[in-house]
Amino acid sequence: MLSPYLDILPEIADALATGKPVVALESTIISHGMPYPQNVETARRVEQVVRDNGAVPATIAIIDGRLKVGLDAAALEALGKGGHAVTKCSRRDIPFVLAAKQMGATTVASTMIVAAMAGIRVFATGGIGGVHRGAPETFDISADLQELAHTGVAVVCAGAKSILDIGLTLEYLETQGVPVIGYQSEELPAFYTRESGFKVDYRLDTPAAIAEALRLKWALGLEGGAVVANPIPAEFAMPKADIDAAIQQALREADEQGIKGKASTPFLLARVCELTGGNSLAANIQLVLSNAALGARIAAAL
Ligand code: PSU
Ligand code: MN
């Protein structure tokens, strides 16, 4: 039984009913992850890349208090233009934004929730939330990690940004039983760069091999998601020193300005983007496109 709170675009509902591949896409990356108008342009290109690779895109957001699976052009534009004024919704926020009949941008966690409600198993994005640097003091651990522990959706991403503590993020995922798969990579990529210095749990080299592992996991009743880490294409990777310097400065400013809670990640993303000029944005766009293509191929193989 589908949730009465879901609105699924007819093309997506039809694909789900007939077993065609569908890839979920998130909306916080649109509102909070990139500046306007590149965010809206990228969201459209990502949807096209999913199609070009044989799947139907399903961008997820809350619009007028409804859970939307698939967005029309007006909704995409409103999310992109709204930017940081749009409510960023993780698991805890969903019912309140529905009750207020507002617009909400879904994070990795809440996009997984809505995707699972709709019966979508594969979700492509840029980067996941994780354990923040300083978390032993601040307790700032993204709800994305708990969602990966419980909700059966595979998240294709370019690893975790080094605004996070990547080592602690991997420890947390291990404790929660979430496998981290490297696509053609032994190492967990660090979003803008192909290397992080940390190993993935399993390297798999084809979408079919990833699909088979996921199929077995869920067939065995092992609940929860998986991280599929796809390194940014080499030609678009950034010099490590540039990105490290920007991240250090952004972290310092966040600390000085007392930025906390759900504001932390959007603040850091925006500052890193500003501090590196257009370079990090260009890399960000390319890695999302690459993840969308891989997500579509995994969904097709599932
Ligand atoms: N990391 C990125 N880009 C993003 C995000 C994280 O590199 O756009 C967004 C995603 O929507 C993710 C959210 O789910 O930030 C995590 O926020 P928090 O750390 O507050 O859980
Ligand atoms: Mn947080």
Cα angle: 65, vertex 69, 75; to 5 degrees: 60
140 is in an annotated binding site: yes
Nearest CA to ligand 1 atom 18: 142
Question: How many residues are listed for the chain in this entry?
Answer: 302
**Per-residue pLDDT at 107:** 98
* Number of the ligand 1 atom closest to the C-alpha atom of 88: 11
CB neighbours (10 Å) of residue 258?
A: 7
Per CATH, the homologous superfamily of domain 6-301 is Indigoidine synthase domain (3.40.1790.10)
127 lines ligand 1 (CB under 6 A): yes
Q: Which secondary structure element, helix H or strand E, spans residue 157, and what is its range?
A: strand 154-157
240 is in an annotated binding site: no
93 lines ligand 1 (CB under 6 A): no
26 is catalytic: yes
CB 80 within 8 A of CB 46: no
What residue ranges in 187-278 does DSSP mark as E strands?
202-204, 226-229
Tokens 């390319």 sit at which residue?
286
pLDDT per residue, tens digit, the chain (302 aa), is: 578 999 999 999 999 999 999 999 999 999 999 999 999 999 999 999 999 999 999 999 999 999 999 999 999 999 999 999 999 999 999 999 999 999 999 999 999 999 999 999 999 999 999 999 999 999 999 999 999 999 999 999 999 988 999 999 999 999 999 999 999 999 999 999 999 999 999 999 999 999 999 999 999 999 999 999 999 999 999 999 989 999 999 999 999 999 999 999 999 999 999 999 878 899 999 999 999 999 999 999 99
126 lines ligand 1 (CB under 6 A): yes
144 is in an annotated binding site: yes
Nearest CA to ligand 1 atom 2: 127
Distance 18 CA to ligand 1 centre (A): 32
Residue 57 in 3-state DSSP?
A: strand
Distance 127 CA to ligand 1 centre (A): 7
Give the active site residue among 26, 47, 147, 187: 26
**Per-residue pLDDT at 1:** 55
Sorted by where each begins, the domain ranges of the chain are 6-301
**Per-residue pLDDT at 3:** 83
* Number of the ligand 1 atom closest to the C-alpha atom of 262: 20
